[in-house]
Amino acid sequence: MQFTSEQRLDDGVLEREFTLGEIPGILWTPGSASTPTPLILMGHPGGLHMMYPRLVARARHAAAEGFAAATIESPGSGERPRSAAAEQARADLRRAVEAGEPVTDEIVDRLVLPLVDKAVPEWQAALDALLALPEIGGPVGYSGGVISIGTRLAVVEPRITAAVLFAGSYVPRTIIEEARQVTIPLHVLLQWDDEGNDRQMALDLFDAFSSKEKTLHANMGGHIGVPQYAGDEANRFFARHLK
């Protein structure tokens, strides 16, 4: 991990951009932290530049609760190389939705599974590097989307002890089956009228999780209409499980 820039935000949060090989990322740490702090990995569906306003807002809320937060650029997003296969799958999905046709499992698999297979090892490599920093300690949580990435991480990464998952993308049936292996505490956010989400897939995924503690927080509205109180409840969830 190589830090490439840093700035102190007006609330004292230290923001540092970094690269992990060719993967860019950002780390935020509380300004008042005097001991190694718990870490929240913040997933997202797009490029860092496009997602930055929402990411930094989430990170500042996390810092106010005493957490460090970090994110990395998703494969095929931002400045990272595009995948022709993923672009074709995305076009096929868009075409089906616009035509009012069912989105087939085959399209969802082509779009999501290669992304999960590439992103999860990258998140694990980032976690290795972040936990090697003296200011970062455990435990570790995962927050955000793509929900299939969060689900796979919850299965394969034992250092993640709790997760807030955003149900805002299509979910392959393979991931729903993997969800039966997830046992960590979960808090799942679902926008009921999300135009980019198959609601029934999200409900099937939630039902499949084997966690003894799992909460579904459903709100009316579209993809970017998550109310502030829903985010506040997610922060309280992490306060219970990462401290």
Whether 223 shows a pLDDT value over 70: the answer reads no
Using the 8-state DSSP alphabet, how is residue 77 labeled? S
pLDDT in tens, 26-58: 999 998 766 899 999 999 988 899 999 999 999
pLDDT at 33: 66
- Mean predicted confidence (pLDDT) in 183-187: 97
Mention every residue, 6+ apart, whose C-beta is less than 8 A from residue 59. Answer: 13, 15, 26, 28, 42, 69, 71
**pTM of this prediction?**
0.93
pLDDT at 133: 95
Whether 22 shows a pLDDT value over 80: the answer reads yes
Q: Rounded to an integer, what is the distance from CA 240 to the centroid of its chain?
A: 19
Pairing of strands 2-8, 14-20: antiparallel
Mean pLDDT score of the chain:
91
Percent of the chain whose pLDDT exceeds 70: 97
pLDDT at 131: 96
Judge contact between 133 and 2, C-beta under 8 A.
no
Confidence of residue 89 (pLDDT cuts 50, 70, 90): very high
Mention every residue, 6+ apart, whose C-beta is less than 8 A from residue 137. Answer: 35, 36, 37, 38, 39, 131
Judge contact between 34 and 40, C-beta under 8 A.
no
pLDDT at 193: 78
pLDDT in tens, 132-163: 999 998 899 999 888 999 999 999 999 999 99
**d(C-alpha 111, C-alpha 104), whole Å:** 11
